[in-house]
Amino acid sequence: MYTLKRLKNGFKYIEIKNDVMQAKIALQGAHIFEFNKLLWLSEISKFQEGVAIRGGIPLCWPRFGSLDVKLPQHGFARTQMFELVKVEEINNRLTTVHMLLKDNKETREIWDYTFELHLVFNLGESLSISLRTDNTGTKDFMITQALHSYFSISDIKNISIEGLQNRYYHDALSEKKVLQKGTIKICQEVDRVYEGVDKDIVLQDGQRKVHLRTKNSASAIVWNPWIEKTKKMSAMKRDAYKKFVCIESANAFDDFKTIQAGDSYILKLEIQESENG
C-alpha cells in the first residue's frame, strides 16, 4: 500500500507499507527518510522546498563534496523535485519505487549537461537502491556521487565498522592519506573518504549488524561530526552526533566516473539488517 502525502507547506512524500517494512520517500531529492528503524532522521530537520532533509539517505549528485564553485556542496539532486514514475507492489513483502530527475533550466544553468537520473528503491526485508545516470546529451560528463546514508545507532560509543581494514583514506580533517588499521571505532570527529573499497561494509552496533553491499562503487565515506562540528551543523541538536553515523556508498575523489554521451552508469547499494545469534 502506498499513499502520496503532502505537508501544510506543500512538501510531498510517499508513505509505503508492506508486510515487512514501512518507508517514507520525499519527492524532493528522491530522499528516503524512513525505512523501519534503520535510518537516522534529525527531529529538527526541515521539510521544506530547497532545503535538504537532515538524515535518511540524501543523494549527492553530480558531485560528492564541494569540488566546483558553481555547484552547491554535494551537488543539486538532493533539492531537485523528482517525478514519481511508478510504484509496484511486487508481492506483500516487496514494493519497488521508481523516481526520475531530468535536466531542466535550473540544473543547466549551473551544470550544462543533459541527463536522466533514475532511482529505483526495492523496499522489502532489505533496502536496495539503484542509481542510474544516463548521459542523454552529446557531451561527455564527469560525476562524483554518494548515497549518503545516515544510520541510526544506539550510541556512537557502541559501534564499530568493519570491511575497510587495510584501505587508505583521505582524511578531510588533516588533508592526509592514512592507512586504516583494524576496525573503525569513533571517539572524535571523523570525515574520511576510503578508497579501493572492495568488500561489504558491516556496521556493528551491539548485537545488531547492518551490512552494506555495493556494486560499481570503490569509495566510501565515514562521517561523524562529533561535538564541536555538530554545534555548527544545520538542523542538528547538540547531542545528535551520538545517535548516527554516516557510511556513504560512493564514487568519490579518484573513483570519479566519466559518462560518455549516450552511456549510463549504475551505482547500487543493498542494506541488510540482522541480529547476531
Contact positions toward ligand BG6, by CB under 6 A?
Answer: 52, 73-74, 148, 172, 191, 221, 223, 248
Q: 97 or 245: whose CB is closer to ligand BG6?
A: 245
Q: What is the DSSP string of 111-162?
A: S---EEEEEEEEESSSEEEEEEEEE-SSS-EEE-EEEEEEEE-S-GGGEEEE
Question: Which among 162, 197, 211, 202 has a CA at the least distance from the CA of 183?
Answer: 162
| Minimal distance, residue 229 CB to ligand BG6, in Å | 7
Extract the C-alpha cell encoding 57: 539517505
Question: Which among 7, 5, 6, 32 has a CA at the least distance from the CA of 21?
Answer: 32
Extract the C-alpha cell encoding 206: 551491539
Q: 18 or 249: whose CB is closer to ligand BG6?
A: 249
| Minimal distance, residue 262 CB to ligand BG6, in Å | 30
Name beta bridge partners: 75.
Answer: 61
| Minimal distance, residue 246 CB to ligand BG6, in Å | 6
Q: 77 or 87: whose CB is closer to ligand BG6?
A: 77
| Minimal distance, residue 207 CB to ligand BG6, in Å | 28
Q: 74 or 242: whose CB is closer to ligand BG6?
A: 74
Give the number of other CB atoms < 10 A from CB of residue 171.
Answer: 14
Q: 33 or 223: whose CB is closer to ligand BG6?
A: 223
| Minimal distance, residue 243 CB to ligand BG6, in Å | 15
